[in-house]
């Protein structure tokens, strides 16, 4: 790992329809013609937020009003190593324009993977596709209890159907029903990855399955989210192509009373080097989502607090 990294403040901006702003790199820069999220280098003595405000004023002619952390990405290009501090810009004044002559485009979130983005920006796309809340269904719940509980979930929450006692046919029927009610982007199944592919939803990979993929040196299917508990497993998830990870327990939890909590400081340190969106789990409630974001995470995952 290189020690000297170019630090960059990056903006993820959505318009009223949810489309995301991209900027095309001009001919005189490296990787000409490729697209990226707006932003620029953090100058000595600047904070991330100060650099972001300056860069967006210079590049887009806007003033940042409200922004929050989204993800930190470390990436090594052949010619330099970068660290992207990404902020989700929630509010701004002015109309974004290509002040420096650059071409801009507003792109639907689901279309972002089809655009020729810089390699370092791939984790940002996944962070934008995923919500702040990841709710696991209670293991002993039946189909009707899950369906009845959907209205109590945060509107944007991603739901993992974690129902080991349910037969495969009933599990599949429930997954299809949830997709009809909430859309495929807000569902994760944890059985055959073929079901996830069929539905077009996320696939949740437990630790044992992750180890099996690692032993076989096989890439995870696209759209995989995996559970991890330490730095080694988190690196494995990244190297095998996981879209996101769930890390914990961050705090003590009644479901695993004998498991030591890693705490927020360790969570932040692990996430800082992860290179992919990471949810905090273990003693979490929806109210902890902003704290997880401040620590560099995607948000929070849990069972009891959501049901």
pLDDT at 256: 66
β-pairing verdict for 278-281 and 244-247: parallel
What is the predicted pLDDT for the residue at 252? 83
pLDDT tens track for 117-135: 999 999 999 999 999 999 9
Instruction: Supply the DSSP string of 97-159, one letter for each residue.
Output: --TTS--EEEE-GGGGGGS-B-GGGHHHHHHHHS-SEEEEPPTT--HHHHHHHGGGS-TT-EE
Please give the torsion angle defined by the CA atoms of residues 103, 104, 108 and 112, in that order, rounded to the nearest 10 degrees. Answer: 60
* pLDDT at residue 2 tops 60: no
Q: How confident is the model at residue 43 (pLDDT cuts 50, 70, 90)?
A: very high
Mean pLDDT to the nearest integer, 84-90: 96
DSSP 117: B
pLDDT, position 259:
75
Closest CA to 171 of 213, 199, 134, 205: 199
Tokens for 28, please give them: 């005189």
Q: Give the pLDDT confidence score for residue 154 in this predicted structure.
A: 93
pLDDT in tens, 23-39: 999 998 899 999 999 99
What's the rounded mean pLDDT across residues 46-55?
98
The answer, yes or no, to whether residue 260 has pLDDT greater than 90, is: no
Instruction: Work out the pLDDT band at 186, boundaries 50, 70, 90.
Output: very high
**Rounded mean pLDDT, 54-73:** 96
Q: What is the pTM of this model?
A: 0.91
In the chain the domains, ranked by start, together with CATH numbers, are 6-120 (3.90.79.10), 133-306 (3.20.20.70)
Of the pLDDT bands very low, low, confident and very high (cuts 50, 70, 90), residue 3 is low
pLDDT of 242 > 90? The answer is yes
């Amino acid at each position: 790992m290189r020690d000297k990294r170019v630090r960059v403040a990056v903006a993820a901006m959505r318009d009223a329809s949810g489309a995301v702003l991209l900027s095309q790199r001009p001919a005189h820069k490296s990787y000409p013609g490729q697209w990226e999220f707006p932003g620029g280098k953090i100058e000595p003595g600047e904070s991330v937020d100060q650099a972001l405000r300056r860069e967006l004023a210079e590049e887009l002619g806007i003033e940042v009003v409200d922004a929050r952390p989204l993800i930190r990405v470390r990436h090594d290009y052949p010619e330099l190593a970068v660290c992207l501090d990404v902020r989700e810009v929630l509010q701004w004044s002015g109309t974004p324009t290509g002040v420096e002559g650059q071409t801009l485009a507003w792109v639907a979130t689901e279309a972002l993977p089809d655009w020729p983005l810089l390699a370092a920006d791939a984790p940002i796309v996944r962070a934008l596709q995923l919500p702040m809340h990841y709710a696991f269904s209670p293991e002993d719940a039946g189909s009707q209890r899950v369906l009845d509980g959907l209205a109590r979930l945060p509107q944007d929450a991603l739901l993992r159907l974690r129902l080991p006692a349910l037969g495969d046919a009933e599990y599949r029927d429930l997954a299809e029903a949830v997709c009809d009610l909430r859309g495929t982007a807000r569902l994760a199944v944890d059985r055959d990855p073929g079901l996830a592919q069929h539905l077009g939803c996320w696939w949740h990979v437990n630790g044992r399955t992750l180890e099996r993929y690692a032993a076989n040196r096989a890439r995870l299917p696209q759209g995989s989210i995996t559970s991890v508990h330490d730095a080694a497993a988190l690196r494995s998830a990244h190297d095998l192509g996981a879209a996101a990870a769930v890390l914990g327990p961050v705090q003590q939890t009644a479901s695993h009373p004998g498991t030591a909590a890693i705490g927020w400081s360790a969570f932040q340190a692990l996430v800082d080097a992860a290179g992919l969106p990471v949810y905090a789990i273990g003693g979490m409630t929806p109210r902890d989502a902003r704290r997880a974001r401040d620590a560099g995470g995607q948000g929070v995952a849990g069972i009891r607090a959501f049901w």
